[in-house]
């Protein structure tokens, strides 16, 4: 898997467009970095940049951006609504894909080491990158902000982690580290800034102090007025959206606003957001309102509507959800082919795609026919009595189709390791041993893939029986063809398991796999007959 780290530097400039763009260009022009978002705020006089890349690349991108800021930002002239202590105020490194938190810690430390040397600035480590409890969080380090930094630097306990303990008036100090994905989230309040702040105090974990903690954990927040929106905001950082999700903050803010008799006009997400956080919110509203929504894009749309994410500024999922921004096109040359071309490829003078890929395609078509009938039954007035059953059936069959489609290419690719083993040298005993082990692992992969096809198909049988029992009777033949296709696809995958299993020399693996596959093929025959019998009796 490709290693992806997200870096979200916050610079203390949100009004000078030339400076904002110059920093963006420095990131954009760094090889291996992809600039995903630039979010300036005039009231806060702060711009949040979001970019991704490999561990080395993000460090280079952050350094290049900081170098531009060193030339263009002067903290002696800075003012804004947001707490800050430096021109580059905070620069977190966040794991996205294929990397550990420790790798992000190492990236933060490397950035701090190089930035302190090249730019002659002080840097503090925070969150996962430091073990000093008295200076682990942003509020702890930022206390006193830029204005109090000169005095703070004189204290031994506040000596920077990197760089000299010398006040740099035009820069201040920078905080860098590694953390979990933080969501910057604002709830729009049709009221005054002090009303928004009262709400924030009631909700944020710190509350009004040790004796008056807030209701929600892993939440930092404050209230302010945003001139360009002409409304107040409860502005929060959700430090861990799995502890306090977006929807919980939004609903609690609505309750607080109602108690103050002020209106809520939607909300906004600053920067990017993980897809998981959006889908968690979708699941909440689906359960709360007893909705039936299957497609991911519809779930995202539901969240946009319920949270009012378009109220202050447009929310484009393709631009705001990080997985959508960094996603690479899956390599699925067979599954992405037009049907006519796929059939011709099967018919060509080539061993691939062969029976395994074709079996996965046939099984997917079988489950797909069941899914089709369920979807054509659901929501039809004369079949309202079985809506609840369709709600249970549709996700299972729809999910089976989505899982079976990738198996079309996976089966063709399954022999890669085995073929590499065949090409390995075999002159010495050591080479022969390495070649044998590689080929054996390759054969096990060639067994695992069709076995997975069988297991996915097997998971669809109960739903196929249910659609035979409750689906639109006018679609009987579709369910019959679906059941036969699903059985055939599982049978074809079984034959691929058997033929590849014969070459594996591990008797225990052979016996256990053969038993599992035999159970699945026998069940497929039995369940297909059950589907057809149900239809015959209706």
Cα–Cα distance between 349 and 362 in angstroms, integer? 21
Is it true that 4-178 and 183-326 share their CATH fold? no
List CB contacts of 22: < 8 A, sequence separation 6 or more.
68, 72
Could you give the residue ranges of the DSSP H alpha helices within 260-307? 275-289, 296-307
- pLDDT value, residue 532: 97
Q: Which helix (H) or strand (E) holds 236?
A: strand 231-238
CA atoms within 13 A on the CB side of 348: 11
Give the model's pLDDT for residue 378. Answer: 95
Q: Quickly list H helices, 459-506.
A: 461-470, 476-501
Residues carrying an active site annotation? 82, 411
Strand ordering across the sheet containing 231-238: 219-226, 231-238, 183-190, 263-270
What pLDDT does residue 415 have? 75
Fold of 339-537: 1.20.120
Divide the 538 residues of the chain into consecutive groups of 10 and give the mean pLDDT of each group.
88 96 97 92 93 95 98 95 95 90 96 97 96 93 96 95 96 96 94 96 95 96 94 95 97 98 96 91 97 95 98 92 79 88 91 90 98 96 94 96 95 79 87 88 91 97 97 96 98 95 92 96 97 95
How does strand 4-7 pair with strand 88-97? antiparallel
The closest of 130, 124, 93 to 108, measured between CA atoms, is 93
Residue extents of the structural domains in the chain: 4-178, 183-326, 339-537
Task: Give the C-alpha distances (Å, rounded to integers) separating 380 from 165, 423, 455.
Answer: 72, 58, 32
Q: Are 249 and 273 in contact (CB under 8 A)?
A: no
State the virtual CA torsion across 382, 387, 389, 393 in degrees, nearest 10: 110
CATH of domain 183-326: 3.30.70.670
Q: How far is CA 306 from its chain centroid?
A: 20
487 contacts 495 by C-beta, under 8 angstroms: no
Q: Which of 231, 239, 182, 189 is nearest to 214 (CA)?
A: 239
Extract the tokens encoding 340: 């006519």
**What CA–CA distance (Å, rounded) separates 245 from 303?**
12
Instruction: Outline where 73-222 has alpha helix (H).
Output: 101-119, 138-142, 149-152, 193-203
Beta bridge partners of 237: 184, 220
* Through-space distance between the first and last CA atoms of the chain, rounded to whole angstroms: 50
The token pair at 150 is 């000169």
Q: Answer yes or no: CATH 3.30.990.10 is held by domain 4-178.
A: yes
pLDDT (0 to 100) of residue 1: 55
Q: What does each C-alpha distance from 342 to 113, 274, 284, 346, 488 come to in angstroms? A: 54, 35, 41, 6, 18
pTM above 0.85, yes or no: no
């Amino acid at each position: 898997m490709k290693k992806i780290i997200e870096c979200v530097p916050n610079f203390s400039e949100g009004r000078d467009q030339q400076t904002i763009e110059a920093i963006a260009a420095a990131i954009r022009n760094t090889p291996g970095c992809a600039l995903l978002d630039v979010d300036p705020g005039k009231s806060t006089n702060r711009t949040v940049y979001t970019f991704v890349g490999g561990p080395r690349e993000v460090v280079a991108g952050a350094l290049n951006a900081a170098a531009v800021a060193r030339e263009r930002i002067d903290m002696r002239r800075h003012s804004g609504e947001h707490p800050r202590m430096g021109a580059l105020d905070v620069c977190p490194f966040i794991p996205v894909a294929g990397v550990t938190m420790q790798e992000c810690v190492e990236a933060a430390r490397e950035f701090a080491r190089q930035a302190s040397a090249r730019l002659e600035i002080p840097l503090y480590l925070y969150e996962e990158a430091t073990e000093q409890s008295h200076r682990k969080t942003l509020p702890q380090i930022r206390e006193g902000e830029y204005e109090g930094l000169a005095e703070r630097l004189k204290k031994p306990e506040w000596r920077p982690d990197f760089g000299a303990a010398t006040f740099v008036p035009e820069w201040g100090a920078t905080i860098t580290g590694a953390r979990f994905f933080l969501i910057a989230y604002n709830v729009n309040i049709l009221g005054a800034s002090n009303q928004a702040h009262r709400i924030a105090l009631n909700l944020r974990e710190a509350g009004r102090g040790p004796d008056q903690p807030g209701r929600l954990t892993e939440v930092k927040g404050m209230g302010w007025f945003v001139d360009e929106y002409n409304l107040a905001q409860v502005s929060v950082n959700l430090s861990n959206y799995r502890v306090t999700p977006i929807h919980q903050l939004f609903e609690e803010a609505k309750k607080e606003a109602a108690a103050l008799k002020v209106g809520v006009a939607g909300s906004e997400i600053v920067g990017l957001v993980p897809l998981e956080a959006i889908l968690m919110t979708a699941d909440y509203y689906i359960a709360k309102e007893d909705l039936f929504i299957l497609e991911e894009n519809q779930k995202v749309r539901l969240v946009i509507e319920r949270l009012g994410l378009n109220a202050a500024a447009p929310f484009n999922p393709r631009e705001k959800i990080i997985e959508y921004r960094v996603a690479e096109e899956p390599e699925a040359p067979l599954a992405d082919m037009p049907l006519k071309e796929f059939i011709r490829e099967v018919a060509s003078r080539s061993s691939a795609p062969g029976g395994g890929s074709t079996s996965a395609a046939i099984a997917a078509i079988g489950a797909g026919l069941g899914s089709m009938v369920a979807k054509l039954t659901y929501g039809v007035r004369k079949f309202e009595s079985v809506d609840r059953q369709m709600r249970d059936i549709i996700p299972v069959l729809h999910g089976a189709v989505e899982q079976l489609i990738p198996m079309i290419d996976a089966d063709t690719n399954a022999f890669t390791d085995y073929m590499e083993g065949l090409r390995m040298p075999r002159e010495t005993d050591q080479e022969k041993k390495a070649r044998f082990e590689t080929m054996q692992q390759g054969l096990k992969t060639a067994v695992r893939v069709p076995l997975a096809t069988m297991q996915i198909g097997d998971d669809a049988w109960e739903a196929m029986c249910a659609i035979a029992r409750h689906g639109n009777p006018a679609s009987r033949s579709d369910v019959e063809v679906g059941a036969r296709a699903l059985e055939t696809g599982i049978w074809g995958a079984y034959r691929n398991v058997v033929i590849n299993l014969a070459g594996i020399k591990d008797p225990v693996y052979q016996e256990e796999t053969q038993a599992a596959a035999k159970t699945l093929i026998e069940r497929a025959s039995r369940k297909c007959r059950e589907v057809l019998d149900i239809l015959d009796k209706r």
